[in-house]
Amino acid sequence: MNEFETNNTELLRLIDEWEPKLQSLPEDVISSRKTTQGWTIRETLGHLADSASNNIHRIIHLQYQANPLIFPDYANMGNNDKWVAIQNYQTEDWHDLIQLWKYMNFHSLLSILSAM
């Protein structure tokens, strides 16, 4: 197994490790605003699901686009806050949001491994 595969395998392990930890967080903890962006833990997890979705698009584009690859710059265009607000992660069912985060990341990492 090469270093890249080892890293992806470790990331998959961490997702499995964190799923029950996230499930055990109480509502007041996941719903209070704690980050410098003013996001809650619930919104932060939604943002991480968005990031996995964007990574899936990048992996797919790598398979067929000619060089140089150009990807949207989501972070520097101020879109992160818009994505979180538009999708209203603050009212999303916590269990469903954890599953979305988990499976988007699983799919992203497995897509990388299968493209190798």
**Sequence spans of domains, the chain:** 3-115
pLDDT by residue for the chain (116 residues), tens only, comes to: 677 778 888 988 999 999 999 999 999 999 998 767 789 999 999 999 998 888 888 888 777 877 766 776 666 666 788 888 899 999 999 999 999 999 999 888 877 777 66
At the topology level, CATH places domain 3-115 in Four Helix Bundle (Hemerythrin (Met), subunit A) (1.20.120)
pTM of the model: 0.82
Predicted pLDDT of residue 7: 85
Handedness of CA 100, 30, 48, 11 (dihedral sign): negative
Contact 96, 104 (CB under 8 A): no
Q: Please return the burial class of 92, using the count of CB atoms within 10 Å of its CB with bins 0-12, 13-18 and 19+.
A: middle
d(CA 76, CA 73): 6
Q: Label residue 49 left, alpha or beta by phi (over 0 means left) and psi (-120 to 50 means alpha).
A: alpha
Q: Taking Cα atoms as reference points, which of 3, 5, 16 lies closest to residue 116? A: 5
Give the pLDDT confidence score for residue 74 in this predicted structure.
66
